[in-house]
Amino acid sequence: MGLDDYKGISEAGELRAIEYMADKLRGRSFLHVNSTATGGGVAELMQRIIPLIRELGIDAKWKVIKGNKQFFEVTKRIHNSLQGQVGPLTDKMWDTYEKVNKKNGDKMDLDADCVFIHDPQPAMLIEQKKRGIWVWRCHIDISTPDKVMWYLLKDQVKKYDAAIFSVASFAQSLPMPQYMIPPSIDPFSDKNIDLSEAEIDEVFERFKIPRDKPILLQVSRFDPFKDPIGVIESFKMVKKYYDCTLVLAGGTADDDPEGERILADVMEAADGVEDLHILSLPPFSDKEINALQRGATIVIQKSTREGFGLVVAEALWKNKPVIAGDVGGIPLQVIDGVTGHLVHSVEGCAVRIRQLLQDPIKARNMGIMGREHIRRNYLITGHIRKYLALWLSMENPGQDVINL
Amino acid sequence: MAEPFVFFECTPVERMTGRHAKDVVDFLEILKQISSASIFHHMHQYFLKTHVAPPEYPNDFTCWIADCLEEKILAERLANLNPFEFANIEDVRVELIRIITNYLKENRPPRTVREGKEFFFNEGITIVIPTGLVATNLAEFKAALDEVDPSCIYYHFYEARLRLGRKVDDFSCFFSDCFEGECTELAERIRRLDPYMYTAETLKNKLVSLVVSAMEGK
């Protein structure tokens, strides 16, 4: 897969900009470090973005820190606290966090011209910086963090040369420059690549979901912030007027007891509701999610709290109108009344679903606009363009206009 | 022979200041202190971005005040401020402050936005990239316009005004001086365009049509 494959999908000017900037950075080293090689949005992104950057002549590398169960319990606690849940770390936990980071840093070759450290798990690697530009790339929503946790972690974060956040509201008061770079989708990944009708049919048949009526779909973890029970309530309101199907597709992780509990609550709320399908998908279900999104009539993402919400971009890319909560990065993707609707309540969600079911032409046009919006703003090529531009701008500090 | 026109495109980098406002008073206070780069960014990024559906108003400040604060009168007054009538961004700042201050004197205490809908002040950095496209005659100019990204139009038409500290764009300057005065009419037509009423994409189409008319001797 190379940049040429994106001709005809991404803008010509975008590809031209990438090639020109990459030429300026040819032979330079660009290291990315995160905490997982598989599963999760960051790993998914690295798998796609690193080979493309390498193909441009930049020595891009991706490394993954190793840790034991205890370490990942600590980092999960940090992750949750930064997203607003209260959960202080004990001295012993901080000690584990520091030691595992140090051990990884001792073994890992961190020598590069530009180093991106993704999320809090490997953030303490900054202690072992020797040279280059070091950037903390934060993918999670830290707009309302647990104050104590952020106060303590900030001591590490401010040692970086810069930080990147996905949405403006995630920015913090930090002494170094902060940049906004949203995440992206890759049209050629398993989750987004074109599928034939036969492939879509096969997935729906496998899950025993008839395609004889309009299908409403929400793809998300079984998490209270995604409000799956609210979606069921909206569906019940819609069902009084329109014969349609609701699919709630998500997964729970073995180490996530809360997910199991929410799934049980969802099952209880779904009891006796006709045409409702709840799918608990295993990891690596990208093709299945792709098919479900392509087979849906309307995609819902009724989040009450959200990071960027890249699942919205995935649905819009497949020409689906999206009805979604007005939170996090969703309003950047759902332009209200253009690519879908932003909603603030169960009732609002129901009304917007009814409007689009009643007016399929409007729904189809919204889907078309949605795909174009994502094509222009949230594809992997735009992401690479922004990464290279950021690197070059950091090598030219103090300039608002940089002539290459 | 005159120098050819050299086409550049640009890639923006968005830097966050970490400062945000939740009501008009907050907003005014930050507006007085924030960098001119931030004001420039929020008054101009509409013209750099491509839109599937352009926002109701052509600058970020006005959109926020209309959509999130729902202060429609203030939004309309701010929307009427044409940044291209000003030779520098500090004069734009003074005018923004004057309009908002007068509004606050006349009106009830402003409402506060709900959480997550605050105005976040950012700044823009522009990376300028040569396209490799040049034009030595109108046919080449039209061919290059067909090829370039809207960011090229932004760079030469919108950003040029501030970069060069004059109220004119690169295109009309070029046509004023080139081709032994044969294109002064085209230069004048471009100069008469109201930049505030276009996006980079719609302006690109307009420029193409003006160049084609000039080629046909209209």
Per the CB < 8 Å rule, is B129 touching A16? yes
The residues near B159 (Cβ < 8 Å, ≥ 6 apart) are A401, B10, B44, B126
The two structure tokens encoding residue A262: 């929410």
AA letter at A317:
W
Per the CB < 8 Å rule, is A181 touching B16? no
For residue B1, name the pLDDT band (cuts at 50, 70, 90): low
d(CA B74, CA A242): 42
My answer on whether A24 and A143 are in the same domain is yes
My answer on whether A124 and A106 are in the same domain is yes
Domain ranges across chain B: 5-9+124-215, 16-121
Nearest to A404 by CA among B10, B63, B188: B10
d(CA B92, CA B114): 28
Determine the pLDDT at residue A106.
Answer: 96
pLDDT tens-place string over residues A20-66: 999 999 999 999 999 988 777 888 899 999 999 999 999 999 999 99
d(CA B94, CA A154): 36
Determine the pLDDT at residue A262.
Answer: 86
For residue B86, name the pLDDT band (cuts at 50, 70, 90): confident
Nearest to B9 by CA among A19, A150, A319: A19
pLDDT tens-place string over residues B179-191: 777 788 999 999 9
Give the closest of A173, A389, A404 to B18, CB-based.
A173
Nearest to B179 by CA among B207, B123, B212, B138: B138
Per the CB < 8 Å rule, is A13 touching B16? no
CB contacts < 8 A (A, B): 101
pLDDT tens-place string over residues B10-43: 999 999 999 999 999 999 999 999 999 999 999 9
pLDDT tens-place string over residues A297-318: 999 999 998 889 999 999 999 9
My answer on whether A180 and A203 are in the same domain is no
Structural domain contains residue A403 = no
Instruction: Determine contact: A341 vs chain B, CB below 8 A.
Output: no
Window 17-36 of A: residues touching B by CB (8 A cutoff) are 17, 20-21
Sheet with B119-135: strands ordered across: A59-64, A29-34, A114-118, A133-137, A162-165, A178-180, B5-21, B119-135, A401-403
Per the CB < 8 Å rule, is B125 touching A335? no
Per the CB < 8 Å rule, is A372 touching B149? no
Instruction: Determine contact: A399 vs chain B, CB below 8 A.
Output: yes
Start-end of H helices in A207-345? 228-239, 257-270, 286-295, 310-317, 330-333
Determine the pLDDT at residue A254.
Answer: 52
Residue of B nearest to A182 (CA): B14
> What are A330's strand-pairing partners?
none
**Average per-residue pLDDT for chain B:** 91
My answer on whether A170 and A308 are in the same domain is no
Supply the CATH number for residue A76's domain: 3.40.50.2000
Best mutation target among B35, B44, B127 (most A Cβ atoms within 10 Å) is: B127
Structural domain contains residue A367 = yes
Per the CB < 8 Å rule, is B127 touching A392? yes
Q: What residues in B contact A225, CB-CB < 8 Å?
A: none
Per the CB < 8 Å rule, is B52 touching A372? yes
Residues of chain A with pLDDT under 70: 252-258
My answer on whether A31 and A151 are in the same domain is yes
Give the closest of A165, A389, A402 to B16, CB-based.
A165
My answer on whether A324 and A264 are in the same domain is yes
My answer on whether A313 and A325 are in the same domain is yes
pLDDT tens-place string over residues B96-127: 999 999 999 998 777 899 888 999 999 999 99
Domain limits for position A347: 197-377
Tell me if B8 sits within 8 A of B156, measured CB to CB.
Answer: yes
Tell me if A74 sits within 8 A of A97, measured CB to CB.
Answer: yes
The contact set of B with A (CB < 8 A) is 9, 11-18, 20, 37, 50, 52-53, 116, 118, 120, 122-131, 147-152, 159, 163
Q: What residues in A contact B122, CB-CB < 8 Å?
A: 168, 180
Nearest to B64 by CA among B95, B88, B28: B28
Per the CB < 8 Å rule, is B125 touching A181? no
Per the CB < 8 Å rule, is A17 touching B12? no
My answer on whether A20 and A166 are in the same domain is yes
Q: What residues in A contact B14, CB-CB < 8 Å?
A: 179-181
The two structure tokens encoding residue A223: 């998490």
My answer on whether A212 and A168 are in the same domain is no
AA letter at A374:
I
Determine the pLDDT at residue B75.
Answer: 96
Structural domain contains residue A293 = yes
My answer on whether A269 and A169 are in the same domain is no
Structural domain contains residue A279 = yes
Determine the pLDDT at residue A251.
Answer: 76
Q: How many domains does chain A have?
A: 2
Structural domain contains residue A138 = yes
Instruction: Determine contact: A179 vs chain B, CB below 8 A.
Output: yes
Instruction: Determine contact: A369 vs chain B, CB below 8 A.
Output: yes
d(CA A358, CA A108): 58
Give the closest of B15, B118, B152 to A169, CB-based.
B118
Tally of CB atoms within 10 A around A360:
13
Determine the pLDDT at residue A85.
Answer: 77
Structural domain contains residue A72 = yes
Determine the pLDDT at residue A256.
Answer: 59
Nearest to A178 by CA among A396, A394, A400: A394
Q: Which residue has the tokens 């080293």?
A: A29
| Mean local confidence (pLDDT), B48-55 | 90
My answer on whether A237 and A361 are in the same domain is yes
Structural domain contains residue A109 = yes
Best mutation target among A10, A16, A23 (most B Cβ atoms within 10 Å) is: A16
Structural domain contains residue A191 = no
My answer on whether A388 and A372 are in the same domain is no
